[in-house]
Amino acid sequence: EPEVTQTPSHQVTQMGQEVILRCVPISNHLYFYWYRQILGQKVEFLVSFYNNEISEKSEIFDDQFSVERPDGSNFTLKIRSTKLEDSAMYFCASSPFLAGITDTQYFGPGTRLTVL
Amino acid sequence: AQKVTQAQTEISVVEKEDVTLDCVYETRDTTYYLFWYKQPPSGELVFLIRRNSFDEQNEISGRYSWNFQKSTSSFNFTITASQVVDSAVYFCALSETFYNQGGKLIFGQGTELSVKP
């Protein structure tokens, strides 16, 4: 069964460094998302992406964040200058886009980002 | 404003007990989707069910069942004859967009279920 994959599973970085989190969505899906989950808290929406542009973004998704689909398979989240509070699990998700109806989002296993 | 509330932070049961996880949502839209996801100790988010706002029929899948009541804005999840493998955090989520592009999911705080042998 097709699934969303994410790399790396765990990333440790120093405050102020740039990180890129990578995701490979399910191949026939058209909508892509990033969410984050600070340890012990709920899952929060960051951004959605469709047709090579951002569809919606949350207040969390400020200028330090960017997303890109550099080729036909990868979807990346870049954090330009990491802060301690960026430490979290980051989930990528994808969904099909069937006749304009919101469909189920399938999540990857997550990347745990630790900022020291 | 859209909001999902899972008032039960933690529930502990003994194997074979039935357990119900509560979910209450707020939305101004008349069309929306509701979801349940499971997050086992390994950390991934596993999709369990999707229900649209026009379909209030209860659903059963094996030991899992869901009760959707628009009148009380609730979408509760029952596990019958719980097993140790059911131990996980369970999230209820709301998506307001329907006949539109992929809507963001608004998650509740999650309920941590612990099933003891």
pLDDT tens, position by position, A13-25: 999 999 999 999 9
Please state whether the peptide bond connecting residue A96 to the residue before it is cis, i.e. omega within 30 degrees of 0.
no
C-alpha distances out from residue B92 to A15, A62, B42, B46, Å: 33, 26, 19, 12
Which strand (E) or helix (H) includes residue B88? strand B88-95
List chain A residues with CB under 8 Å of B99: 100-101
Nearest CA in chain A to B4: A42
CA distance linking residue A28 with residue A74, whole number of Å: 13
- Average per-residue pLDDT for chain A: 92
Token pair 């099933």 is found at: B115
Confidence of residue B30 (pLDDT cuts 50, 70, 90): confident
B87-99: per-residue pLDDT in tens?
Answer: 999 999 999 765 5
Cβ contacts (< 8 Å) between B101 and chain A: which residues?
Answer: 31, 48, 50, 55, 97, 100, 102
Q: Tell me, what's the pLDDT at B96? A: 78
**From A56-60, A67-71, B57-61, B100-104, the region with the lowest mean pLDDT:** B100-104
**B43, B91, B98 ranked by CB distance to A110: nearest:** B43
Please give the residue that has the higher pLDDT: either B60 or B74: B74
In this predicted structure, the answer to whether residue A99 has a pLDDT above a threshold of 80 is no
Q: Phi/psi zone of residue B87: left (φ > 0), alpha (ψ -120 to 50 degrees), beta?
A: beta
pLDDT at A72: 78
In the structure, what pLDDT confidence band is assigned to residue A101 with cuts at 50, 70 and 90? Answer: low
Which residue of A105, A107, A113, A114 is the best one to mutate when testing the B interface, meaning the one whose CB has the most B CBs within 10 A?
A105
